[in-house]
Amino acid sequence: MKRLKMGVIGVGHMGQYHVNVVNMLKDKFVLVGVYDANPDRAKEIATKFETTAFGDVEDLVKKIECCIIAVPTSLHYQCATLALDNNVHVLVEKPVTDTAEQARELAEKAKSKKLIFQVGHVERFNGAVQELSKTVNTPLIIESRRLSPFSPRIKDVGVVLDLMIHDVDIVMNLVNSPVVRVSASGGSIYTAVEDYAHAVLQFESGCIASITSSRVTQRKIRTLSISQEKSYLFLDFSTQDIHIHRQASNAYLLTKENIKYSQESFVEELTVRKDNPLKLEIEHFYDCVKNGATPMVSNTSDITILETTLEIERQVRSMLGRVQPSSVAAAK
């Protein structure tokens, strides 16, 4: 099996996890080196994983076949452009870019060069989410909650693009119908942007999805519930448990006063294969680059997800009086 020459650009909080997984997959990748704007951080990670710390990102991309980009979102476009121009396959952390226009440009560049340009929607590789997608068919109501305490390391992005984008992706993939209306609101406590937000997505199919994200909640809660005509599904991300409440039978009970209707149901618990979603994502990236596999999330889908998320962000920030011009332009 030929190993691919890999480089990791950005080795901060998320980047270090990517480096760790790439290092685990020694049968698939040769970790050529890492780059970070902080040279000391790059040297620290390079020493830990016995690779090379590059002082210039251009020097790194000239020596590799594929890369993972885990820098701040504002630098995604610049780094991805550099990599693609050097014929390097790219796996970039979400959100793909600051604007939909930039995302389209990168997708077109990758297509013209016949390169893989994959966005890190890691929740798609969550075993519970994959199991859920096999069971959901005609969702009517979806409720998603992704709540957590505040982390001081988050400074360059609001909760919509930091957390909610995961659930927008999951919900849109499960419903598989165009979004016809978006309504969103939120608030700010710890940062200059939104720290909590709530969005309602209405789909052409009739499904309504309620998505709440927060980094001001003093307990980590990540749940997803789905109502269908004859079943109710509940996923707790923390335990990876899926419970399905199914309609079993209908019964009419005759009493002296009147006829009472009762609906019986049973609960089924799905067993989920637990694995490292990030590892599965990077293995999938390898399969796409090396074996020509089709990316799980297409670039077209990526852009639609980004546009929807940016519209949520635009509405929230408009309410807060903090509209960012790039987001408004991307959402139009």
Q: What is the pLDDT along the chain (332 residues), one digit of tens a residue?
A: 689 999 999 999 999 999 999 999 999 999 999 999 999 999 999 999 999 999 999 999 999 999 999 999 999 999 999 999 999 999 999 999 999 999 999 999 999 999 999 999 899 999 999 989 888 999 999 999 999 999 887 766 899 999 999 999 999 999 999 999 999 999 999 998 999 999 999 999 999 999 999 999 999 999 999 999 989 999 999 888 899 998 765 544 455 555 554 455 678 887 777 789 999 999 999 999 999 999 988 899 999 999 999 999 999 999 888 544 434 333 33
Tell me whether residue 203 is in a domain: yes
Q: Which helix (H) or strand (E) holds 198?
A: strand 196-203
Q: Residue 131: which CATH number?
A: 3.30.360.10
Given this model, what pLDDT does residue 325 score?
40
Q: Which helix (H) or strand (E) holds 187?
A: strand 179-187
Q: How many whole angstroms separate alpha carbon 319 and alpha carbon 332?
A: 17
Q: DSSP class of residue 156? A: S
Given this model, what pLDDT does residue 167 score?
97
Q: How many whole angstroms separate alpha carbon 73 and alpha carbon 97?
A: 6
Is the same domain home to 129 and 77?
no
Task: Find out whether 287 and 268 touch, Cβ atoms under 8 Å.
Answer: no
Tell me whether residue 15 is in a domain: yes
Is the same domain home to 98 and 144?
no
Q: How many whole angstroms separate alpha carbon 167 and alpha carbon 246?
A: 24
Tell me whether residue 205 is in a domain: yes
Q: In what order do the strands lie in the sheet with 141-147?
A: 179-187, 196-203, 208-214, 141-147, 221-227, 231-236, 241-254, 259-270
Given this model, what pLDDT does residue 153 score?
74
Q: DSSP class of residue 74? A: G
Is the same domain home to 188 and 316?
yes
Given this model, what pLDDT does residue 267 score?
84
Tell me whether residue 302 is in a domain: no
Given this model, what pLDDT does residue 328 score?
35
Is the same domain home to 41 and 132?
no
Strands 141-147 and 208-214, bridge-based pairing: parallel
Task: Give me the number of domains the chain comprises.
Answer: 2
Q: How many whole angstroms separate alpha carbon 106 and alpha carbon 48?
A: 32
Is the same domain home to 315 and 171?
yes
Q: How many residues does the chain have?
A: 332
Domain boundary among 120, 144, 169: 120
Domain boundary among 120, 136, 159: 120
Q: What residues contact 152, with CB distance under 8 A and at least 6 apart?
A: none
Is the same domain home to 179 and 255?
yes
Q: Residue 8: which CATH number?
A: 3.40.50.720
Q: How many whole angstroms separate alpha carbon 153 and alpha carbon 9?
A: 18
Is the same domain home to 271 and 131?
yes
Tell me whether residue 202 is in a domain: yes
Q: How many whole angstroms separate alpha carbon 107 and alpha carbon 98?
A: 14
Is the same domain home to 142 and 257?
yes
Given this model, what pLDDT does residue 332 score?
31
pLDDT in tens, 66-105: 999 999 999 999 999 999 999 999 999 999 999 999 999 9
Is the same domain home to 178 and 323?
yes
Is the same domain home to 177 and 320?
yes
Task: Find out whether 161 and 314 touch, Cβ atoms under 8 Å.
Answer: no
Provide φ and ψ at 3, rounded to 5°: -90, 145
| Dihedral-angle region of residue 112 (phi above 0 means left; psi in -120 to 50 means alpha; beta otherwise) | alpha
Dump the DSSP string for 122-135: GGGG-HHHHHHHHH
pLDDT in tens, 263-306: 556 788 877 777 899 999 999 999 999 999 999 888 999 999 99
Extended beta strands in 10-134, E state: 29-35, 52-54, 66-69, 89-93, 117-120
- The neighbour count for residue 60, using CB atoms within 10 Å, is 25
Q: How many whole angstroms separate alpha carbon 26 and alpha carbon 72?
A: 27
Task: Find out whether 200 and 210 touch, Cβ atoms under 8 Å.
Answer: yes
Structure token pair of residue 13: 């909080």
Given this model, what pLDDT does residue 326 score?
39
Domain boundary among 74, 103, 120: 120
Q: What residues contact 319, with CB distance under 8 A and at least 6 apart?
A: 185, 186
Is the same domain home to 21 and 109?
yes
Tell me whether residue 152 is in a domain: yes
Domain residues for the domain of 131 are 124-276+308-331
Tell me whether residue 301 is in a domain: no
Tell me whether residue 49 is in a domain: yes
Is the same domain home to 8 and 109?
yes
